[in-house]
Amino acid sequence: MSTLTTPHIDVHRGGDRMKTRVAWLDSKHSFSFGEHYDPDNTHHGLLLVNNEDIVLPGEGFETHPHRDMEIVTWVLSGSLVHQDSLGHNGVIYPGLAQRMSAGTGILHSEKNDSWRISANPEHDEPVHFVQMWVVPDDSGLTPGYQQLEVDDELAAGGLVTVASGLPRYRDRTAISINSSHAAMHVARMSDPATEIRLPEAPYLHLFVARGQVEMEGVGPLYEGDAVRMARSGGQRITANVPAEILVWEMHARLGGQ
């Protein structure tokens, strides 16, 4: 268990999230987003956005701007086509880590073009993904893009460091982010009873992207549930069924240490 003092743990159930639903999009927001604003729920640590989105085939987000944000996209099923004003074009799919640094400003679009990718309309399927935004160390950085496949690492079932700016993970991070106080880890726990241990940090955010897990000292967590921790960590997470979890480890918060 954590050696840090005065831990604080808040469980946020998936069904309580704010929702945006239109004909082509089912989006659930862990924090205030767009027209959904709650002054008591704007961020945790350096994490401002944790959106779980389902986009229908042939639909998606048209070209729109971002600025001064590190944006990490994690696809759970289907495929998402990314295009941006820097000339980057790519298809994001399960097991591919992707980061876009908005910096001084970037335009991009994200669409579910699954049948166009396969050239077979029978392969139409929704794309299901989680998009997360963290605050960079500095504003006005040069925009950038990075992606890397990490499927083989995930197959081992442990906690894989997918995106990080923390120096301690420099030699084992798939993609980098311009935040020296944050790292994102993923565990794909394919076998029930698979167990991982959370890192210790001033701020942790655990999100159950699929399946069901048991968290030491908390109990069962279901798909869509999140746990926000302060001055905590070290708890064991056990899969009750095949599961996938996303963990943000943060050593600072918005506005300072």
Domain boundaries, the chain: 8-250
Residues near 227 by Cβ (< 8 Å), separated by ≥ 6?
Answer: 9, 10, 11, 12, 204, 205, 206, 215, 218, 221
Of the chain, the percentage scoring pLDDT greater than 90 comes to: 84
**Is the predicted pLDDT of residue 119 greater than 80, yes or no?**
no
Rounded CA gap, 29 and 39, in Å? 14
Q: What is the pLDDT of residues 174-198, one digit of tens each?
A: 999 999 999 999 999 998 888 999 9
Is the overall model pTM greater than 0.85, yes or no? yes
pLDDT band, very low/low/confident/very high, at 123 (cuts 50, 70, 90): low
Average pLDDT over residues 247-251: 98
**Is the predicted pLDDT of residue 247 greater than 60, yes or no?**
yes
pLDDT band, very low/low/confident/very high, at 116 (cuts 50, 70, 90): low
In three-state secondary structure terms, 193 is coil
pLDDT, residue 84, reads 92
The mean pLDDT of the chain is 92
pLDDT, residue 54, reads 98
pLDDT, residue 2, reads 39
How do the residues of the chain divide into helix, strand and coil, expressed in percent and rounded to 5?
Answer: 10, 55, 40
Strand partners, 254: none
* Superfamily for the 8-250 domain: Jelly Rolls (2.60.120.10)
Q: What is the pLDDT of residues 198-224, one digit of tens each?
A: 999 999 999 999 999 999 999 999 999
User: How many CB atoms within 10 Å of residue 105?
Assistant: 12
Buried b (16+ CB within 10 A) or exposed e, 83-96: ebeeebeeebbbbb
Average pLDDT over residues 40-49: 97
Q: Within 13 Å of residue 116, how many CA atoms lie on the same side as its CB?
A: 9
Q: What is the pLDDT of residues 124-159, one digit of tens each?
A: 799 999 999 999 999 999 999 999 999 999 999 899
